[in-house]
Structure 1
Amino acid sequence: MNYNKYTLDRFDGEYAIFLKRSNETEQLLIHHAEIPSELKEGDIVSIQDDGFDYKIELLREETANQKQRVNNLLQQLRNKE
């Protein structure tokens, strides 16, 4: 089995579009029915692909850390004004 980390970029129609970390240029489209309902845009996940199904796991700690980094950067930008 092969697994990689992705960021849930957006939902487009019936599909969720994931960007492979860390270069985020490779996309993976998965039908909305195959992803856990708890996922939202910006979440970091681990996706296992056995060739037939996807196993998607939310990486809560990595997602929280990434959101904190983004918030810190935004705060720094605001403080420069």
Structure 2
Amino acid sequence: MNDNKYTLDRFEGDYAIFLKRTQETDQLLIQRDEISVEVKEGDIVEIQDDGFAYTIRLLPEETANQKQRVNNLLEQLRNKNK
């Protein structure tokens, strides 16, 4: 597993709040103007920090897989409550 994977949890003011995968308890705050790619809440990314700047790479396949897992769980819950 790659230790540099994060999920974009939310934006707060001038900051993007990323949660470290997979426990998603550790937070990484990055100023919006330091993000060079378009990201939205729920996106899974890989973040490298060279000490001067962050390099963020979108992981669209992992994001899609995670969204599908969440949708499947929601569907199971809906069916269970019928």
TM range (shorter): over 0.9
SS of alignment partner, residue 52 of structure 1: coil
Output the TM-score relative to the length of structure 2.
0.91
Q: Decide whether the 8 Å contact of 2:8 with 2:16 is kept in 1.
A: yes
Q: Which blocks of at least 5 consecutive residues in structure 1 are unaligned?
A: none
Change (3 A) 1:60 1:38: same
Q: How many residues align?
A: 79
Structure having the higher strand fraction is 1
Q: Distance in 1 between matches of 2:36 and 2:11?
A: 13
Question: Alignment RMSD, CA only?
Answer: 1.1
1:21-49 deviation per Cα after TM superposition (whole angstroms, max 9, x unaligned) = 11111110000111145210010000000
Q: Distance in 2 between matches of 1:37 and 1:11?
A: 14
Q: Which blocks of at least 5 consecutive residues in structure 2 are unaligned?
A: none
Letter in 1 for 2:61: E
Question: What is the aligned-residue identity percentage?
Answer: 76
Q: Which has the higher contact order (CA 8 A, sep 6+)?
A: 1
Confirm or deny that 1:41 pairs with 2:41: yes
Output the TM-score relative to the length of structure 1.
0.92
Letter in 1 for 2:66: Q
